[in-house]
């Protein structure tokens, strides 16, 4: 990709969308969907394999541990990114949808990161807290063990089928956010991150309620809750009765806690999710016998494509195009231009 082209895109972007920058930089997913076991002998693709797309395009990734910059071919990068973010046992059309989302996310990061001095000329770094995770071949072998050949080939076939496709909105790659499973309905970017983004709106994803570990609980003593709240909010005042520490939550249509009063402080659901180690911000809190119980639905930030919901759609016969159109309404799936592939 030509850097001057990306820099022009970045300049135009900053002029029109600077207030959205915190939301645009957010990492799409920190938690992969739960794995689904697949027999090693199961055939999931037709006997006619799609051709491998030969391309010299790729990404320069700053290795945070060594400071070195590693050049990774596009195909290898996408295989590693899909393998890191989604179980390889998911349906082929789900893997294709994830490959498009991963590619789109990487292209947008290139656009946003152009010229950042700390990257030293790289497109982005391998820091999973800031950027999309990507497994190396050694890491894939370690994760998949004896299933390596099967799982690598499954993901590679999906990548080869969609390698040149990206999701666009208003002429630029979208924020291809995704998460493991929703609370039964995905969340809007406006509710979660404070900025409305047309293609990151709330949609039904009822199949998520049937996912493994859809509902989880976290139990903490009153003293543990007190310590964690005071550590997060210096000067917070809590009453003597733990049963009265939490007020009534403001909850979105998707079930996300938007705001919740704790003592004399106001917290967002995302803040409380981090404080108490919850799998999502769609939760309720109850107190009895000196102990708080947090009941949680879903896994992840709940914005964009639900990986488990996407897999349910694929198993019902939906294509990756239909999956992407459903979870990113208004975004357009297009082939990369020749200029972008350079």
Q: For the chain, give percent helix, strand, coil, nearest 5.
A: 40, 20, 40
Q: What's the average model confidence in pLDDT over 25-53?
A: 38
**Which residues in 186-206 are b (16+ Cβ under 10 Å) and which e?**
bbbbbbbbebebebbbbbebe
Residue 91's beta-bridge partner residues? none
**Edge-to-edge strand order for the sheet containing 265-267?**
250-251, 257-262, 265-267
Instruction: Spell out the residues 6+ positions from residue 118 whose beta carbon is closer than 8 angstroms to its own.
Output: none
Q: What is the pLDDT of residue 340?
A: 54
Taking residues 114-142, report their average pLDDT: 83
- Averaged over 124-141, what is the pLDDT? 85
Q: How far apart are CA 67 and CA 51, in angstroms?
A: 35
pLDDT tens, 63-78? 888 888 889 899 999 9
> What is the rounded distance in angstroms from the CA atom of residue 329 to the CA atom of residue 197?
11
Number of helices followed by number of strands (H, E) in the chain: 12, 14
SS3 annotation, 183-221: CCECECHHHHHCCCCCCCCCCECHHHHHCCCCEEEEEEE
Beta bridge partners of 104: none
Q: In the structure, what pLDDT confidence band is assigned to residue 128 with cuts at 50, 70 and 90?
A: confident
The HSE-up count of residue 57 (CA atoms within 13 Å, CB side) is 20
* CB-CB contact of 267 with 259 (8 Å): yes
- Domain borders along the chain are 3-180+331-341, 215-297
Query: In sequence order, what are the beta bridge partners of 220?
Result: 292
Which of the pair, 339 or 195, is modelled with greater confidence?
195
Question: Which of helix, strand or coil describes residue 342?
Answer: coil
Q: How confident is the model at residue 339 (pLDDT cuts 50, 70, 90)?
A: low
Q: Which of 25-34, 52-61, 87-96 is least confident?
A: 25-34
Angle of CA points 52, 128, 22, to nearest 5°: 110
Assess contact for 256 and 302: CB atoms under 8 A.
yes
pLDDT tens string 249-277:
999 999 999 999 999 999 999 999 999 99
Please tell me which residue, 35 or 329, carries the higher pLDDT value: 329
% pLDDT > 90, the chain:
68
Which residue blocks in 86-185 are alpha helix, DSSP H?
Answer: 92-113, 137-144, 148-162
For residue 109, pLDDT over 80 is answered with yes
d(C-alpha 38, C-alpha 134), whole Å: 22
Q: Is the pLDDT of residue 231 over 90?
A: yes
pLDDT at 16 over 70: no
How far is Cα 17 from Cα 192, in angstroms, rounded to an integer?
Answer: 18
d(CA 153, CA 139) in angstroms, rounded, equals 15
Predicted structure pTM score:
0.82
C-alpha atoms less than 13 angstroms from C-alpha of 231 in its C-beta half-sphere = 10
């Amino acid at each position: 990709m030509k850097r001057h082209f990306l820099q022009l895109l970045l300049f135009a972007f900053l002029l029109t969308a600077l207030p959205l920058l915190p939301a645009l930089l957010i990492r799409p997913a920190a938690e992969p969907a739960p794995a689904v076991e697949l027999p090693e002998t199961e055939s999931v693709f037709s006997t006619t394999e799609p051709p491998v797309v030969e391309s010299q395009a790729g990404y320069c990734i700053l290795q945070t541990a060594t400071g070195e910059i590693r050049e990774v071919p596009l195909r290898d990068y996408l295989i590693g990114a899909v393998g890191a973010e989604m179980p390889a046992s998911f349906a082929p059309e789900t893997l294709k949808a994830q490959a498009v989302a991963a590619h789109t996310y990487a292209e947008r990061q290139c656009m946003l990161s152009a010229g950042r001095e700390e990257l030293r000329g790289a497109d982005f770094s391998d820091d999973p807290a800031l950027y999309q995770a990507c497994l190396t071949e050694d890491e894939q072998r370690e994760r998949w063990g004896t299933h390596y050949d099967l799982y690598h080939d499954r993901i590679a076939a999906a990548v080869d089928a969609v390698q040149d496709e990206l999701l666009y909105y208003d002429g630029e790659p979208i924020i291809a956010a995704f998460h493991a499973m929703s609370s039964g309905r995905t969340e809007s970017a406006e509710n979660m991150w404070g900025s409305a983004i047309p293609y990151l709106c709330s949609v039904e994803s009822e199949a998520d309620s049937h996912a493994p570990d859809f509902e989880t609980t976290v139990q903490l003593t009153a003293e543990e809750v007190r310590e964690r709240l005071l550590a997060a909010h210096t000067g917070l005042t809590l009453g003597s009765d733990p049963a009265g520490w939490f007020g009534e939550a403001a909850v979105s249509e998707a079930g996300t806690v938007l705001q919740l009063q704790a003592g004399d402080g106001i917290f967002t659901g995302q803040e409380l999710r981090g404080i108490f180690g919850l799998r999502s911000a769609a939760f309720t809190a109850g107190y009895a016998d000196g102990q708080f119980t947090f009941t949680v639905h879903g896994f992840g930030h709940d914005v964009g494509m639900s990986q488990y919901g996407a897999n349910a759609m694929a198993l019902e016969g939906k294509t990756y195009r239909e999956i992407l159109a459903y979870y990113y309404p208004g975004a357009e799936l297009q082939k990369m231009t020749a200029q972008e592939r350079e």
